Each structure stands twice: as C-alpha cells, then as structure tokens.
Structure 1
Amino acid sequence: MFRYLRALYVLVLIASPALAQEAHDHGVPEKLGDVSFPISCAPSVQPSFNRAVALLHSFAYAPAEQAFQAIAQKDPHCAMAYWGLAMVHFHPVWSPSLPPASFGQAQRNMQRAVELGAASDREKGFISAGSVLFQATPGLKANQRTEAYEQAMEQVASDHPTDMEAQVFYALALLSNASPADKTHAKQKHAVAILEPLFRAHPDHPGLAHYMIHACDSEELAKQGLPAARVYAKIAPSAPHALHMPSHIFTRLGLWDDSVHSNLASKESAHQHGDTMGEFHAMDYLVYAYLQEGKDGDAQRVVDEMKAMRALDVTEFAIAYAATIMPIRLAVERGRWSDAAEVAPMPRASPTILAIAVWSKGIGLARSGHPADAGAEVTRLRQLEKQLRDSGDDYWATQTAILADEVAAWQSQATGHADQARSLLQSAADREDSLEKRPVTPGPAVPAREQLGELLLLQGDAAAAREAYRAALIQAPGRRGAVLGEARAGQAMR
C-alpha cells in the first residue's frame, strides 16, 4: 500500500503541475522521517496516516492533502482523515496562514471530522482545536483564529503530556502567533522549551527539526537552532523544503558556504518536483549567500536563470517577492545605482512587492545623481505605506515606511542636507532592528544600519560609521558590505 500511494502521488503531481504550485507547497518527498501518530481508524490506514502527517510537518501541503484524501476513501468513517484534509489549509509561520481561497473547503472538512466523531479523547481534542481554527464565526480575523487555536492546542497538550504529536502541534501553534515585534521571542522560546528535549529523544522526527529551525530564526536564538539545521536535510532528504530550511539558520550565522550548498540542493529538488515557490525561495537565499561571498558572477547566473523562466504565478507572494528582489539585491549590493533605478515593478504587484521595486528606483536615482527625481518615489512609498496601514497590514506598512525613509535619507544626502539624512537613516535603522524579518526573506536588500554606516563614512564620521557597521554585524553576522565597511572605517580612523 505504501509503494502504491507513493507512486500515486508522483503520478498525480506529473499529471497536474498546477497542484505542485499551490501556495506554500514544497513538493513530494520520498523520505520523510519518522512520525508515529496513532489513530483509531482502520488499522490498514495507520502507515498512510503517519506518512500524511510527515508530509504536513515538512509543509508539503498538496501531497499531504492527497494522502489524507486516500485515507478518507479507504476508511470513509475516519474522522482524523478529515482533520488532516482541513489542516493542510493552515500554513503557520507563512502569511497568510489561512489562505482565503481554500478556507471554505477547510471548514467543510473539519465539520465532517466533527460529524464523524472520534473514538479517543485525544483525537477529539485535535478535532476540537481544529474546529476552533476553522470556526464559522462571521467577522473573526485570522489572528483571532490562530490565537484561539493556540489556546485549544495548549489544552490538548496539557491533557496528553506524553503524546509527542500533541506537543509538536502545540509548539507549532505558538510559532504561528509569534509577533515580529516581540524581540524577547517569548513564544519562540516557549516552543523551543517544548521541542528541544523531544528532538534529543526523537532525532528523526521531521517536525521537531523543522520547527526548531523556525523557532530559532533570529539573531538571539540562531546558535540554538544549529543542531536541527545540521540534520533536517538528512531526516527528509527528498523534501525541497527540508533541504532549504537549514539555510535560515546558516544565514543568521553567516555560514555562507553551508547556505549555498543547502539552497543549491533545494533549488534542484524543487525544480524536479515542479515546486516553483520552493525553487524561487531557495534562489533568493542563494543569491543572498553568493553576494556575501563576493561571488557576483554566480549570483548573476541565478538571476539570469530566474528571468528566463516563464508563466510565473505572480499572485503567489513568495514567488513575486523573490522574483522582484533578486535583481535588486544584485544591483544595490554591487553599487550599480543605474541598474537599481531601472527596476520595473512586476505587473499586478501587491503593495508590498511594489514597494520593493519603488525603493530600488528611488535609491538608484538618489545615488546616481538624480536626487530630485527620487522624491517622486518617496511619495509613492508613503502612499503604499498608507494603503497597507489602511488594510490592517501593520508589519509591511512599517517595512514600507522604513524603505521610504531610506530613499529620503539618500536624497537628503545628495542635496546637501547631511543632518537630515543622518536622522532619517538612524530612525529607519532603529525601527528595522525592532522587528524580526519574515521567513519569506533572508533579509532586506541592504539593512538600514549598514546603510547608516555607509552614510556616516561618506560624511566623514568614521568612528560613528564603525559603530554602525559593528551593530549591523550583530544583527546580520558576516554580511560582506558591513565587514568591508567596518574595515574602511577603521582605516579612516588611523
């Protein structure tokens, strides 16, 4: 049965490329790690259920859905199969975590799980928690749903303290509500406290390694996530996402060779599985790592390969983000300001994606002798910030405000207003440092504090520039621009 299902998943994927490109999907792994999630359905579906949950733990949502569907077909009374069919539509740590297009189907599947009932209190707990997540309450916001789900999973974990999957899904629920504005990383640390001892006891569980990496994706916790980063690709070597995820920690620690190897493998695997989102995500991290190693030619080749790709689903945020920012990284990291100014927005780009292209044009104009023209881009960024703020997207609104201040700062510098430039970039750096990055990106094209160091060096304040570069390197160790900038500042002080 196992071999038949595996073959079926591959055939389904080949027959339906659109399925492979579903939002946040990461392909069809063949080796998934060790998962044991006992259920009270027909004994014949237990191995298939374990596999389906393993797929879920590696964010392979489309094949996980196929796996849960096959279980439901074999045992129509298996409530947990319908729980799984609903949970594949919950994408924690990504945004949106509850994709609107599939939300109705998730509700119907979870309702079916409730109607069928479950034989054990433990299974009833999982289904009840899922029902809270997908409840049919009008006007309920996504964050209210995920917060209610976290509380429900906390109860499941408390009621079943020795059940590993209850603990793992509770830890993941915590991560789904971790605020990028909380620099104490309270929820991430809570998740780590749950996951780390379990990971030591169960080193082949894909979810434990995967979620440890997400929990530790910060400057403060990155070293704690390195053991998981070293083994996740070995636990599920055929999963494109498992091959990529270690690079989140490698990027935080400035381990560029490791990041390159991780993302080369992930890019190839994602391409083979028709996982365009996973491929582009790996390519962005790959360009970032190559640039930090000074391998501009390798970075250029990745960008050229991306530009040659056709029929992209630019409505998928992660694809649009990577496709937009990769050439911008290349231009601004190499100081090719004319190239940066020529970046064109992607057709039908969302305000968040559009802001990145507008920033590139504005920075390019301000730094290539056209500061007056850069003013229009500052205005556009302010408008996009308001649009995002009005829509309730405070995180990306703040990021867009930072981009606007950066362009305004370089425009001020170019027009002789040095104090204003310094104040704007200082403010931008402080705000950027107060927020964590989203998993969609290895980091901004150039961190604001690194830009501040460059500005201060241009203004002749080498001592302040060196301090800015050093602070930038705490947040992003090993970044080439900050390393070289600190060295230049030190030489200027002699």
Structure 2
Amino acid sequence: MARPSFLITIGATAIAGAAFFANVLPRETTPSEADLEMLLDPRLIAQNQCGREGQRRSAFFKPSFQLALASSAQASTGNADQVPLWPGLGERSFPITTASAEAQRYFDQGFALLYGFNHWEAIRSFRKAQTLDPSCALCYWGEAKAHGPNINAPMADAAATPANVAIAKAQELAEGAGEKERALIEALALRYAPGERAELDRQYADALGEAHARFPDDQDIATLYAEALMDLSPWDYWERDYKTPKPHIAKAIAAVEGVLNANPDHPGAIHLQIHMMEASAMPERAEPGADRLAGLMPGAGHLVHMPGHIYFRIGRYLDSLETNVKAVSVDEDYLAKTQGSDLYRYGYYPHNVHFVLVSAQMAGDGKTALDYARKLDALVPFEAVSTAALVQPVKVAPYYAYLEFGTDEDIANMPEPPEELPFVKGIWRYVHGVAAIRAGDVARAKAEADAIAALREDPETIALADQNLPAADILQLSELVLRARIDWHEGALDAAKTKLEEAVTLQSALAYTEPPYWYYPVEQTLGAVLLASGDAAAAADEFRAALVRHPNNAWSLYGLMKAQEAAGDETAGYTAKLLKEAAFDPGAIKLDRL
C-alpha cells in the first residue's frame, strides 16, 4: 500500500480566512470602514504571496471576499494602558536594556506570546513595554517581529507600515542596546527592507544564522533562527521519503534540538519541533516535548493544543482529546476577556474544537464527538464557509461524526448546504447516502451517489484545487465508499472490494493536513467487506493497514479483533485489551459502520 502523501497544507488553522489580516494592527482604537476594507481585501494576500513557495499555495480566498465575521473594532489593539499581564505564560526572560522592571515584564510576555503564535496579543504587550520605557530598542523590535510573516500567515501589505515604523525606531535606539539586541534588530531590518519577500526572508534567516553562530548558547536566538528557516517554506519541510529534511530544515532541526538538549522545557523550541516532525515519518521524535509543552505555558491556548498534533499522529487519541478540551477552555477564557485577533478567534480556537471532535471519533467516544460536532457546526456557519476554501473541510467534519455516532434524526436535521458550496453539499449527500443504505433504501443511496458524481464535476468543486483544497478527489473518495457500501448491501462483495481498493489509493494520495481531510482509514471498510466474504486473514491484514494509517484507532481495533476471532487467532484477546483502553463504546459500533 502506498504511503500517504505528506504535502503540507495550512489546513484548518486558516479558518475563516483570518490569516489575511490577523497581524495588521493599526494604533487607533476603532478603525474606519476604509481601514477595515483595506485589511479585509483578499488582493493584499495574493500580492504578498508571490515568491513564497509554501504560502503561495494558500491563496484560497474568493475575489468577492468580504468577511462577514469582522466587527467594527476588528483590528484594534486597544489602549496600551489596559494590557494585562496574563497568567500562565511561563517564567522565561530575555534580558533587555531597560531601567524599567515593568517594561521587561511586558517584553517577556510579548516574547512568550510570539512563541504561542498569538501575535496580536504580543503586539499589545510590546507596545505597553514601549510606553513604560520609550528608549527600549528591543520593545520596538518585538512589535516589528510580530507584524511579520509566520508559517500560518503571510505578511499583508497593510502590515508593512507599522512594521517599518517599529523597526526604524528600534534601529534609532539600537546604539544604547546590547550586542544580542543589536544583532536581532539588524537581522529584522533586513526582512523589512525594500525588495522581494522571499529574498528578504532568506536574508533575515541568514542574518539570524550569523547571530546564532556568534551566540551559540542563546536558546532564544537559536529558536528565532529555526523559525526563520521554517518561514522559507511554510509547512513544506521534508523530501519525498519524509525521513530526509530539506537542507534548510535540517539546520532548523539542529538548532531546535540543540536548544532542547540544553533545556528540554523551552516552549518555543518544542512548538517548532512539533510542527517540523508532525508530517515526517518519525513524529514520535517530538513526543517527549509534546508531553511537557502544555504545562510550560498553560495560559497559551495554542501551545496547550499543540501536543495534539503529535498525539493524533501516533495514536494517543485520548491524550489529544484531553489536551484540546483544555485548549478550548483556555481560549474561551481568553476570548471572553479581550477582543483578540480574527486569526485567533476564528482560526486557532475552532481548530482546537475540530481536534477534540476528530480525536473523540478515533477513540470511539461518541458522546464527546457529538457534543463537539454540534459546537463546531455552530462556530462555522455557511456564511463563513463561503469565504475560504479551507474552511469547507472544517464545516463537513461534524457531518462525519453524525454519521458515525448520531441518530437518524441527527442526520435528517442537518441543514442542506447552499448550491454555491458543491463540495460541502457533496459530503452532505454522502452522509445521507450511507444512512440510506443502512436503512435498506438502495434507491436513495444510489441517487445520492449519482448526485455526488455530478457535484464532483461542478466547476466550483474543480476550482477548489487551485485554492489548495482537493475537493474533487475527496468527493470521488466519498462516492467510491458509498457505492462500495451499496455493493456490499447487495451482496456484490467483489465489486465492493474493487471500489474500496481504489478508494484506499485515492486516500493515500491526499495531501497531509491535521486533522486529515478524510475522517477514517478506508482500509477498515475493506477489512469489513473481506470479513463478510469469509476471508478473515485478509480482513485482518486490512485492519492492520488501517492501524498503520491511524494507529490505535478504536474502529480498526474493533475490526481487527473481530477478524482475529473469526480466524481463531489467539491475539484477539490482546487486541480486545487495547480496545478497552480507548473510550470505545462497543454498543455503538457494528461491522457495517466500519
């Protein structure tokens, strides 16, 4: 079986398209309508993506985009005097040249928030530090850094002015700063000089590499260097064997692992290590750090969430579920107290909810899956889905949970998606088709499969591929699975097997994203069909293949146990033991649901 493709995408983190403007923070308290129009103009992002290979692929906004979720106070950083010192952000400090202990505290908070990818809040902290000590060079550097690109969001044109103002002020004050501070300021000034974005980012990374060579024991400079290298190819870190890092990423890994060898509790280094290793063939290399990260900065919701990226990959679904439930709670508490950025409110926060949902599905925890399916469904209305292609897989995620664990009423109550969302409507039809075949309504199931085939050919569906969403492939996969289930119901097991083998190949070719585009390993349905045909040994092989794709998932463990029992395999007892360690409800699972 072919290994799944791990071409990286930014996936669900870009919910509601907030990445366009998340870091663009004008100083006025309430931006004008014209300001908001500038911030929300999708053309800004397209202009800035030219030359950035990784993020050029993420230009997924419709030309007519107007984000309905934006409020009149969308981009305000608020009054600097009202910036709190947030609890739970750790005790790390990067000493700066200042006579103000409070300025140092706010600078350290801003630095911690940079590590937690809450750039909007980081800017507020750095600006507060500036008011406490207007001569603090690195306080202006911090703001300029936070305005820049990162692996989840490119730099919008509207961020250029505040970034340039801040870095110019840092340069003006640099003479009174220390050597390390001057090195950071000089490096960042290169990033914001006139020129082409990719080349400027490369110069910035090279300059930080020189700073790292000068100060090899400075853990924060090493971490900033690693992040700058990752920014050269966001979410695209590995050669095709997924064991060999791209040359610049090999340097990033070395820098991060050097930090962690000296200090296993560095939150920024752990965060970056998780992102680099999650799509590799060896995600377990980041497991030790993942186990520590949430406790290091328990007030940073994104960092509380991040271990889930590794836990999900290695089959620790209950741990992924638990850490994301905590992350949801942390972010809800944070967002209840402050405006936050759109990227955080409509991106990182729903991403955590999505992770709870899929982790519960894999663990077999139907109650939690359904609870969070309803929560996620409410967080992502159809109006938001229409703004950005990569929101669409997030919108359909609850549909899969209703199919796996829900009642006929849950499925019947799913609102029909609008015509302008053919991919979402196709998955909606898939769910109704599978539900129909379970009820014995073959005609309805076949009609739904035919409808999916038509939606797959819809020009709107096909166009989503140019916006980084393999929608037509996902609909083809769903159609194959539905038609295979129809064949299975009608006793045409060989035909079902052929379609499922094709579906397995198609699933293996889907781009990597977390959570995955398809909600379960198709090998487990193939295993169920083989078991129904009486070939228990071949069925067990397919269930094992499913467990390679998604280790320890309760559904495939259940299928393997049934195949082992049918074959008289004594290891069935061990599989049953593993199953009991999941949140699995045996009464909720039947072979026809695999």
Aligned partner of 1:474: which letter?
Answer: V
- Distance in 1, matches of 2:416 and 2:214, equals 51
In structure 1, the residue matched to 2:433 is 365
Question: Counterpart in 1 of 2:451?
Answer: 376
DSSP 3-state at the match of 1:30? coil
1:291 aligns with 2:364: no
Q: Distance in 1 between matches of 2:141 and 2:287?
A: 32
Tell me which residue corresponds to 1:489.
563
Matched-pair contact (CA < 8 Å) for 2:317–2:359: yes
Tell me if 1:235 matches 2:296. yes
Larger deviation, residues 290-299 vs 473-482: 290-299
| Aligned residue in 2 for 1:437 | 513
For 2:154, which of 71, 93, 98 is the aligned residue?
98
| 2:274 alignment partner in structure 1 | 213
Deviates more, 1:212-221 or 1:453-462: 453-462
| Counterpart in the other structure of 1:6 | none
Q: Which residue identity lines up with residue 250 of structure 1 in the other structure?
A: Y
Deviations 1:80-128 (Å, cap 9, x if unpaired)?
333322322346342xx21537543454346535763633564454345
Alignment of 1:455-494 (within 5 A): 457=531, 462-493=536-567
The answer to whether the 8 Å contact 1:49/1:67 transfers is yes
Note closer, same or farther for the CA distance 1:226–1:310 as it changes in structure 2 (3 Å cut).
closer
Which region of structure 1 is more displaced relative to structure 2, 222-231 or 57-66? 222-231
Deviation at 1:406, TM superposition (A): 0.8
Following the alignment from structure 1 to structure 2, what is the Cα–Cα distance between the partners of residues 21 and 481?
46
2:464 to 383, 388, 391: 388
The alpha-carbon distance between structure 1 residues 445 and 211, as it changes in their structure 2 partners (threshold 3 A), is same
Instruction: Give unpaired runs (5+ residues) of structure 2.
Output: 1-28, 30-71, 79-83, 336-343, 437-441, 569-594
Residue number among 152, 170, 174 corresponding to 2:229 in the alignment = 174
Distance 1:444 1:135 in 2: 42
- Amino acid in structure 2 at the alignment position of 1:179: D
Distance 1:457 1:112, change over 3 A: farther
Q: Retained in 2: the 8 A contact 1:218–1:436?
A: yes
Deviation at 1:149, TM superposition (A): 4.5
Structure 2 residue 243 is matched with structure 1 residue 165: no
Q: Which secondary structure does the structure 2 equivalent of 1:35 belong to?
A: coil
- Tell me how many residue pairs correspond in the alignment: 460
Superposed, 1:389-408 pairs within 5 Å as 389-391=465-467, 393=468, 396-397=469-470, 400-408=471-479
SS at match of 2:111: helix
Distance 1:355 1:224 in 2: 36
CA distance 1:450–1:222, change in 2 (3 Å): same
- After TM superposition, the structure 1 = structure 2 runs for residues 83-232 of structure 1, keeping only pairs within 5 Å, are 83-90=141-148, 92-94=150-152, 97-98=153-154, 100=156, 102-105=158-161, 107-109=163-165, 112-113=168-169, 116=172, 118-119=174-175, 122-134=180-192, 136-137=194-195, 149-176=204-231, 177=233, 178-179=235-236, 182=239, 183-184=242-243, 186=245, 190-218=251-279, 220-232=281-293
420, 427, 432: which one aligns with 2:505:
427
C-alpha change, 1:159 and 1:39, in structure 2 (3 Å) is same
- How far the C-alpha of 1:131 sits from its partner, in A, is 4.5
Superposed displacement of residue 65, structure 1: 0.8
TM-score using structure 1 length: 0.77
**Aligned counterparts of 2:461 and 2:381: Cα–Cα separation in 1:** 29
Q: Is the 8 A contact 2:138 2:170 kept in 1?
A: no
In structure 1, what is the Cα distance between the partners aligned to 2:139 and 2:382? 32
Cα deviation for residue 428 of structure 1 reads 0.9
> Could you tell me how far 1:424 is from its partner in structure 2?
2.5
* 1:264 aligned partner: 325
Match of 2:37 in 1: none
Partner residue of 2:384 out of 286, 293, 314: 314
Structure 2 distance, partners of 1:55, 1:116, is: 25
**CA distance, structure 2, for counterparts of residue 126 and residue 189 of structure 1:** 22
> Counterpart of 1:3?
none
User: What does 1:444-455 align with in structure 2 at a 5 Å threshold?
Assistant: 444-454=518-528
Counterpart residue identity of residue 186, structure 1: P
TM-score using structure 2 length: 0.65
- The answer on whether the counterparts of 2:227 and 2:252 sit within 8 Å (CA) in structure 1 is yes
In the alignment, is residue 246 of structure 1 matched against residue 307 of structure 2?
A: yes
Residue 121 (structure 2) aligns with: 63
User: Aligned-pair distance for 1:426?
Assistant: 3.2
Aligned amino acid, residue 156 of structure 1: A
Distance 2:373 2:531 in 1: 30
Q: 1:255 to 1:366 in 2, by over 3 A?
A: closer
Query: Is the Cα contact below 8 Å between 1:31 and 1:236 reproduced in 2?
Result: yes
Partner of 2:374: 304
Query: Partners of 2:214 and 2:250 in 1: how far apart?
Result: 21
Structure 1's 361 and 410: CA in aligned 2 closer, same or farther, altered over 3 A?
A: same
Secondary structure at 1:108's aligned position in 2? helix
Change in 2 beyond 3 A, CA 1:302/1:389: closer
Task: Map Cα deviations across residues 50-90 of structure 1 (whole Å, 9 max, x no partner).
Answer: 22111111122222110111233344454433332232234
Cα 1:296–1:180, aligned 2, differ >3 Å: closer, same or farther?
Answer: farther
Report how far residue 492 of structure 1 moved.
Answer: 4.7
Distance in 2, Cα, partners of 1:89 & 1:174: 17
**Contact 1:133 1:148 (C-alpha < 8 Å) held by counterparts:** yes
Q: 1:445, CA displacement in angstroms?
A: 1.6
Secondary structure, aligned partner of 2:147: coil
Shift of 1:456: 5.1
Partner of 1:286: helix, strand, or coil?
Answer: helix
Q: Residues of 1 paired with 2:151 and 2:384: CA distance?
A: 20
Contact 1:281 1:319 in 2 (8 A): no
Mean alpha-carbon deviation: is it higher for 267-276 or for 74-83? 74-83
Q: Which amino acid aligns with 1:426?
A: V
Higher RCO (C-alpha under 8 Å, 6+ residues apart): 2
- Percent identity between matched residues is 23
- The answer to whether the Cα contact below 8 Å between 1:133 and 1:146 also exists between their aligned partners in 2 is yes
